[in-house]
Structure 1
């Protein structure tokens, strides 16, 4: 186990509670922790836990730090700048796990049959030029944030199934990709539904397929922390997972199961709007927040079969070491694991 500053963590990247539920956490005595997040509906578990006092009840004084991509969050965890985060598995995250710096401790966003999920997209300029199906993207530019990102993984899995080759084009940030898709500088991309659907309706691009059709039961994002926290701060880590899981339960009840009816959904939209689409008035933000509703794993259960598939893909692409095992990446002692 090692301690890293942010510069060392970047260098190491190389460019690239029980089965029945969470155990009762040890109260962390108002311990201050920093949580990494993206301003996506899919990060609502953390937002709800904070706003409804579940982190505070678990003894945690939570402060958010916001990012624009997955890999910088992995660096921040490894360097100790943040304590916990929810994000996709990336080559950088795996490489840092291999160095003993971080551990995946739970599951978050997952593709579930019957719930609208992530979409594959074709830019409108490309569509108008005759590229109307995913198979037509053969040899075309496909946007990713970085090589070794979840976008890279999703694009590659689709390309393999369709028997095509893609020209992966790293653009670093989601905002830059949206601009490139609108202007026709890239041909294809994949993204969560709250971004995909409203901009497709506005004519920015065309939806060409569902990620779940190519990657069933995909564990899209995971909960992770430093290896030090996982090993030495068990009470604090259990407290974080307990608070987060209560937030997930409330989110699912309001947005998926709709146990509170329209009033419950409206209340949840108001809460999420504090963090997502904050530059829009509530009435314009609400449809996109609803469009982004996807399943978050109950009790942070982790689909280890999906994580293994992702790890194997990164290895097959030469993006991470061939000898890295699932145990190197995952500490499975905190939550229920499925798909093993």
Structure 2
């Protein structure tokens, strides 16, 4: 998965410290990087940047390392097993940032009004027993990978908004959560639409609500790296973000805003299929991939209010220290803070 090109043109500056600057040609060539990812449509910006040579244009020789949950990805960044990654903020990531091992440098997937986003699901058994809306979650079991994961955060915020309590069941991997929901071992879960709609369409679960109704501006995933890269590898980090942002622009135009035309949309779905539902025939995978098209932030802009809300929730749950601040987690010099 390695190719070599040279950057030929610069992206426009966004202005101020929030810009992703390009001061002439980058002094990077064949710089080897490992990028952490999940096999989700929401990680498409990285896949597009690789497949269309945007990383290579920046002198970055990228290979992917795939994970099945957010927290192991954060550990991999801290240990040097991955250089950059895209995933949800987790308690593990925040704790690593507090120890000076990781930094969020931008935003990726986010909930946006008018764009179909993450879904709240009920098992068929729970639905038949009355779990037909989030208001009926009281006393139910809710799936998550680990404590402090995005699933834990979403479930807690939804339950709090409805004035009910749920019991969280940690199952470590997304695949295990899916299996538990389908078999009725847990009652509820929330997940990105390409998974949620595929499960519901197959009759395996029921959709009972939208995460955006409870977290309308949720910064679902972020771009992050080691604190060392953020502090000491500025040119490399800017180059990564430029390439990633080009991939996000292509993805948004093809499948979110749908301004690039149907041919471009079909081409985009075929590109993503190399990484998402690759074990399924294209004809079956294509609909699910299109269903997963949520906004990826332009120029890796980060929703600061959402990040601060997540940090406050972690503190309220006793998952991180009260002394941790936004600046502990985020290096705001790389991308626009909105």
- Which residues of 2 match residues 16-55 of structure 1 at below 5 A? 18-19=15-16, 21-24=19-22, 26-55=26-55
Aligned residue for 2:179?
Answer: 179
- Cα offset, 1:258, TM superposition: 2.0
In 1, distance between residues paired with 2:57 and 2:47? 14
For structure 2, which runs of at least 5 residues remain unmatched after alignment? 1-13
**Residues 298 and 122 (structure 1), Cα distance of their counterparts in 2 relative to 1, 3 Å cut:** same
- Cα offset, 1:29, TM superposition: 1.5
- Cα offset, 1:262, TM superposition: 1.2
For structure 1, which runs of at least 5 residues remain unmatched after alignment? 1-16
Aligned residue for 1:250?
Answer: 250
Helix, strand or coil: the match of 2:32? strand
**Residues 39 and 180 (structure 1), Cα distance of their counterparts in 2 relative to 1, 3 Å cut:** same
Aligned residue for 1:66?
Answer: 66
Aligned residue for 1:134?
Answer: 134
**Residues 206 and 263 (structure 1), Cα distance of their counterparts in 2 relative to 1, 3 Å cut:** same
Normalised by the size of structure 1, how large is the TM-score? 0.93
In 1, distance between residues paired with 2:76 and 2:48? 23
Residues 1:294 and 2:294 aligned together: yes
Superposed CA RMSD: 1.1
The 10-residue stretch of structure 1 (23-32 or 172-181) with the greater mean CA deviation from structure 2: 23-32
Aligned length: 322
Deviations 1:23-59 (A, max 9, x none): 1163422200000000000000000000000000011
- Cα offset, 1:259, TM superposition: 2.5
Residues 1:103 and 2:120 aligned together: no
Deviations 1:110-161 (A, max 9, x none): 0000110001111101111222221212111100000100000000000000
Helix, strand or coil: the match of 1:115? coil
- Cα offset, 1:291, TM superposition: 0.5
The 10-residue stretch of structure 1 (197-206 or 179-188) with the greater mean CA deviation from structure 2: 197-206
Residues 1:196 and 2:196 aligned together: yes
Aligned residue for 2:162?
Answer: 162
In 1, distance between residues paired with 2:118 and 2:91? 20
**Residues 77 and 217 (structure 1), Cα distance of their counterparts in 2 relative to 1, 3 Å cut:** same
Helix, strand or coil: the match of 2:85? strand
In 2, distance between residues paired with 1:93 and 1:52? 30
Deviations 1:50-78 (A, max 9, x none): 00000000110001000000000000000
- Cα offset, 1:21, TM superposition: 4.2
Normalised by the size of structure 2, how large is the TM-score? 0.94
In 1, distance between residues paired with 2:50 and 2:19? 20
Aligned residue for 1:209?
Answer: 209
In 2, distance between residues paired with 1:31 and 1:38? 23
- Cα offset, 1:18, TM superposition: 4.2
Contact 2:19 2:334 in 1 (8 A): no
Aligned residue for 1:221?
Answer: 221
Deviations 1:200-229 (A, max 9, x none): 122111111111110111000000000000
Helix, strand or coil: the match of 1:296? coil
In 2, distance between residues paired with 1:322 and 1:259? 44
Query: Which ranges of 4 or more aligned residues in structure 1 deviate by more than 3 Å?
Result: 17-21
Helix, strand or coil: the match of 1:116? coil
